[in-house]
Amino acid sequence: MENKKTALLVMDLQNGIVSRFADKQEILKPFQQAIQAARQNNIQVIFVRVGFSEGYFEVSQNNKIFSAIAKNAGMTFTDVSTQIHESVEPIQGELVITKYRVSAFTGSNLEVILRSQQIDSIVLSGISTSGVVLSTLREAADKDFSITVLSDACIDSDPEVHRVLIEKIFPRQAEVQTVDSWIDHLK
């Protein structure tokens, strides 16, 4: 893996999503380790968040997840809930991309940035395994990216769904590694 052609995607680690978990400090450790390793190895770190404009013009009534958000208000670009959690805050030179759907690619400029920077290998981390990670992995595979999933830097509210995806589904299209094994591979 050539580091200059690789990007670590840190997806949906925003206040409104991280706040759903009781033990934030513990669950965020693998993400922090992966981000630190990427920075030390000249791997581009890209943060991806979901957010909407005031008025929710991007939200269809047919979308069950996002129409409920629009109905209850919140999750706009400027809302505290859409800001990257302070424990994994971006540093200068790291991008924060806003998406409008579950996949990091849909409605964002992620693919344009990756292609412009000649990045062909992505490392996925995020909340949730059955949401943003699954959707992004599937789309990235169709776009011919080389994909690694950091199994312990992915979280899902349903541990069994997480296990099935990590052990049975994701290996069909990606390398699945722990953060520690990924870091060892970088050395």
Q: Which tens digit of pLDDT belongs to each residue from 3-48? A: 779 999 999 999 999 988 878 889 999 999 999 999 999 999 999 9
142 vs 77, residue with greater confidence: 142
Mean pLDDT of the chain: 92
Band (pLDDT 50/70/90 cuts) for residue 116 is: very high
Rounded Cα gap, residues 24 and 124, in angstroms: 19
Band (pLDDT 50/70/90 cuts) for residue 108 is: very high
Peptide bond into 81 cis (omega under 30): no
Rounded Cα gap, residues 104 and 162, in angstroms: 18
Band (pLDDT 50/70/90 cuts) for residue 49 is: very high
The predicted pLDDT at position 79 comes to 87
The predicted pLDDT at position 3 comes to 72
113 vs 73, residue with greater confidence: 113
- Mean of the pLDDT values across residues 100-107? 94
**Phi/psi of residue 102, nearest 5 degrees:** -70, -45
Closest CA to 17 of 59, 63, 96, 79: 79
Residue partners of 142: CB distance under 8 A and separation at least 6: none
